[in-house]
Structure 1
Amino acid sequence: MSSDSVVRGLRHQLVDRLRSDVLSGYYAEGQPIRQDEVVARYNVSRTPVREALIQLAEEGLVTTTPNRGARVAKQAPDSIREFLIPIRRIIEVYALKLSFSRLSDEQFARFDAILQKMREACEANDYAGVAEQDIAFHRSIIEMADEPSLLKIWTTLVGQVRMHFQQSHRAYDDLMDVYREHAAIVETFRGGDVEESASYFAQRIGDTDASAMFEDLLISKKSKGRTRRKKS
């Protein structure tokens, strides 16, 4: 393996780790991400850290300012977030349908590994850890579709609603229910019925009230569009 391949592999791993740190809430909104701290925590040099932060800035997860470094980007306000979650659902269900026929033992092994980590985090009442594995689970479904543009859109979208994962988990009386829900989703996938799996999966993403608001908004926009065409 060439040295360039090793560097690219290290950068990719570091991007994944820092992305998880931001999405799971390890770094709070507006918090500086100091290169020295990342270098020490992950035992890497400054170059891959700098390159990783540039990529996260392109994804909208961090903002960078000359001579001031990187900070975790602000999320969308609540009024906007309510409409982003149903869009996230559309993207994830589309990705699932697109790749369902390619579900393999390797992919199910990946699901099982995520579920194991999620279970351990639930048992430890580790909310940040649960959020990290929840996001990893949904990201794995997007990655199955093997559509880089779809992954980029999803990553940017989730970056804007990342607090939803953390807040929704705290609403559970029993945190283990987060694990049980995701385990049930995987068991539905094992059944092999794409429509049943897509329907079950969709029902467990986000807030149904937000979905209704989103659909009302689309209907309202369509109605206004028809009115404009009649006037013209």
Structure 2
Amino acid sequence: MATSRTTKILSVKDQIAEQLRTDIISGAFPPNTKLNETELANRFGLSRGPIRDVILQLTKEGLLISKNNCGASVNSVLDPSMQKLMIKLRREIEVFAIEQINDTLSEQEITELEAILADLQKALDAEDYAEVTKIDISFHRYLINKAGGDELVNIWYPYVMRMRLNYKRISSSSQCVDEHSRILDALKAGDVKLASKAVKANIK
């Protein structure tokens, strides 16, 4: 069944950035892998200029790290103490977002969030874990954008992407979908406290 969500047309740079995110999240480019601009330009049939722009974008997101005279490489996995800090900061941002939303979701927005969860289930059924990760992020991003627009998204997004370098496969598809469904159900009921609790339980 077709969803009501509008299909977003991505620019060439955005398409390349999305593919490289997938490569990193899926493990095709493991942590500390050095990226070669020339090889990437040849792969995507572009000059090195657009590739540099994409690398800069992914560096800002925390997926890549660039050093003078060394080029760019996939960022390293966070050590446990830093991962714990990232989880704490992300939880604070998302609880803030839940409090801002506070029973303001329209029927259309609820329908769109339900469609995201349906896509999440499909990706899990297909065992496409890179896609699972991206859809998971899109669910949370939808709420963050609803609460604070691009300004809040730009604060939140690097934490999420940096944490994803510690990504591990979902052990239970039902658990993954249920955790997100509990967030949405609480929002639909206008229960901010319960929604905040569900968000905290999901971010780990």
Return the TM-score normalized by structure 2.
0.75
Match of 1:156 among 148, 155, 158: 158
1:60 matches 2:66: no
Among 109, 112, 119, the alignment partner of 1:110 is 112
Structure 1 ranges of 4+ moved more than 6 A: none
Paired residue type of 2:197: S
Displacement of 1:180 after TM fit? Answer: 2.5
Give 1:5's aligned residue.
Answer: none
Q: Deviations over 1:66-121 (max 9, x none)?
A: 67643211132112212221221111111122234442344334323322222122
Cα distance in 2, alignment partners of residues 44 and 193 from structure 1: 50
1:203–1:180 distance in 2 versus 1, CA, 3 Å: closer
Q: CA deviation at 1:164?
A: 4.3
Question: Distance in 2 between the 1:110 and 1:37 partners?
Answer: 38
When the two chains are superposed, the root-mean-square deviation of aligned CA atoms in Å is 3.1
Percent same amino acid at aligned positions?
29
Alpha carbons of 1:38 and 1:103: their partners in 2 closer, same or farther (altered >3 Å)? farther
Determine which of 110, 119, 131 is the counterpart of 1:129.
Answer: 131
- Contact 2:25–2:130 at 8 Å: present in 1 too? no
- Counterparts of 1:44 and 1:108 in 2: how far apart (Å)? 40
Residue of structure 1 in register with 2:195 after alignment:
197
Over 3 Å counting, the alpha-carbon distance change for 1:80 and 1:11 in structure 2 is same
* Separation in 1, partners of 2:88, 2:95: 11
Flag the 1:9–1:144 CA change in 2: closer, same or farther, 3 A. Answer: farther
Tell me if the contact between 2:41 and 2:51 (Cα under 8 Å) persists in the aligned partners.
yes
Max radius of gyration: which structure?
1
Aligned equivalents of 1:164, 1:65: Cα separation in 2: 22
Could you state the TM-score of these two structures normalised by the residue count of structure 1?
0.67
Distance 1:21 1:143, change over 3 A: farther
May I ask how many residue pairs the two structures share in their alignment?
A: 195
Secondary structure of the corresponding residue to residue 185 of structure 2: helix
Counterparts of 1:114 and 1:36, CA distance in 2: 36
**Alignment check: 8 A CA contact 1:118 1:130 kept:** yes
Structure 2: runs of 5+ lacking an equivalent: 1-9
Q: Structure 1 residues 145, 20: closer, same or farther in 2, change over 3 A? A: farther
Question: Contact between 1:123 and 1:176, CA under 8 Å: does it hold in 2?
Answer: no
Contact 2:61 2:158 in 1 (8 A): yes
Residues 1:153 and 1:45: Cα distance change in structure 2 (over 3 Å):
same
| Cα deviation 1:24-80 (Å, max 9, x = unaligned) | 545321123445665677x66344433121111123221235676432111321122
The correspondence of residues 160-175 of structure 1 with structure 2, limited to 5 A, is 160-166=162-168, 169=170, 172=171, 174-175=172-173
Find the aligned partners of 1:9 and 1:77 in 2 and give their Cα distance.
35
Higher helix share: 1
Q: Distance in 2 between matches of 1:128 and 1:29?
A: 15
